[in-house]
Structure 1
């Protein structure tokens, strides 16, 4: 029986992985169960054994995309030495965010690219998780401000929203054939550090 459960869990995960990939490429309106099934190497009706509807699959992917991003960035920050200066912590978060969305996770790409396309009834979990991720950035920027590392003339909320907006928008324009991800990371870090930092 444990083997059957494990096989079932693996199939469910394969369906979610396929849905994340298709959603990240085709978007909410272009994602069909038949495409997910083909990518997961299952029959389309089999998806209904694991998920009641297409919307349930998509809701799970969207929530996981934000949750995995938050967990990844949090783990990178937690691994830094306690004495790491606030702007260096923001640099680390910028790199973790960009690498996760552009290199590591179909889930996160799907969540970012489709955040504004979902019907209201399947947004609840994703929005709650997005608020938790926003809290992480709110703390990063507030800590830097308290340390005197951020210009006093800046509106901290606007700064945070502009930073996250710019980082998220990278999924729409970055192409690995036209420049390295490391260059994108370093450029973003420089712009953000110089934009926030006290001169």
Structure 2
């Protein structure tokens, strides 16, 4: 997997004086997101996280009482940050933007956050089906919130007649999100630029949703 940009809360932040303990905790989370996105839940070891974070493994337990607690935090953050990103991108669109265009903008926002911006989101998407149920609770709640944003986009487009009226909106939404999420499994820079992935995805979604 290619490297992702650091989060605003990591050691890279220069916007405020951050306590050392907060910086260390963020560094551990960043490292865990990187390891999870590459090796998955089953393959993630705290020694790997410690190596990436440049810490001794026992130090992790000062900030997280278990491996599962650390994983839970990363998985939740991945979806929460992607939802915030999508909401911000949509809010910046001009008034009167066509509902189908909003969906295509959402396609780009999702893919860029998943593949380019955040290892947290990559980790969350790639490991969603691997976690024990009790570890997934926070992530599952965030999935519902994220799904509501997309449901609103699909409903608006349907009611405006911008997408096909024979579609089951739930199925259409799940098929679109499923295909976007799968990009985390197959995409590497060798397969083409992210710009090309976004353009192909938008054309794919437009063709699937647009009335004949």
1:132-187 CA-to-partner distances (Å, cap 9, x unmatched) read 00000000000000101111111111000000000000011111122111111111
Q: Distance in 1 between matches of 2:90 and 2:122?
A: 21
Q: Distance in 2 between matches of 1:82 and 1:133?
A: 22
The DSSP-based 3-state class of the residue aligned with 2:19 is helix
Higher helix share: 1
TM-score, length of structure 1 as denominator length: 0.97
1:181 corresponds to: 194
- The residue aligned with 1:71 is 84
1:95-114 pair list within 5 angstroms: 95-114=108-127
The correspondence for 1:130, drawn from 143, 151, 160, is: 143
Runs of 4 or more off by more than 6 Å in structure 1? Answer: none
- Asked whether 1:169 is paired with 2:182, we answer yes
Number of aligned residues: 196
CA distance in 2, matches of 1:45, 1:5: 23
The partner residue of 2:72 within 48, 51, 59 is 59
Q: Which residue of 2 aligns with 1:29?
A: 42
Note the C-alpha offset of 1:111. Answer: 0.1
The corresponding residue for 2:162 is: 149
* TM-score normalised over the length of structure 2: 0.91
The alpha carbon displacement at 1:92 in A equals 0.5
Question: 128, 135, 146: which one pairs with 1:115?
Answer: 128
Change (3 A) 1:45 1:161: same
Deviation at 1:198, TM superposition (A): 1.5
Q: RMSD of the TM alignment (CA)?
A: 1.1
Consecutive unaligned residues of structure 1, counting only runs of 5 or more, are none
Q: Distance in 1 between matches of 2:40 and 2:18?
A: 31
Q: Distance in 2 between matches of 1:41 and 1:152?
A: 54
Structure 2 unaligned residues grouped into runs of 5+: 1-16
